Amino acid sequence: MIFKLVGDGRPYPEHGLSNREWAQIPPRQVRLDTLITTKAVLDLHSLLAKDSTFYGDLFPHVVQWNGDLYLEDGLHRALRAALHQRSVLHARVLELAH
């Protein structure tokens, strides 16, 4: 099992963070098997593109809410890590209050 759960949607409240605000959160290590995805579908072009992170954040965005970690952005990065047999990745984690 790569992820804790494959979800489809964001169960947590809207946080409204901009890309600039996400960039202020220092990355930390997160185990892949603790993540719940917020997307059930992945575009293979995104996964296989060599420059897929060129225009975006280098680190996935994770929202911690009610004790769970939701992978909001960066599914293709997480899957690449899994394909390279890594069990952790560096991500920016936003902790939302209940």
Confidence of residue 59 (pLDDT cuts 50, 70, 90): very high
pLDDT at 96 over 70: yes
Helix (H, G, I), strand (E, B) or coil at 10: coil
pLDDT digit string, tens, across residues 3-58 = 999 998 999 999 999 989 999 999 999 999 999 999 888 777 766 666 555 556 68
pLDDT of residue 92: 97
CA 90 to CA 81: how far, in whole Å? 10
Nearest-CA neighbor of 25 among 97, 95, 88, 92?
Answer: 92
The structure tokens 């992945």 sit at: 42
Q: Which residue has the higher pLDDT, 89 or 43?
A: 89
pLDDT of residue 33: 97
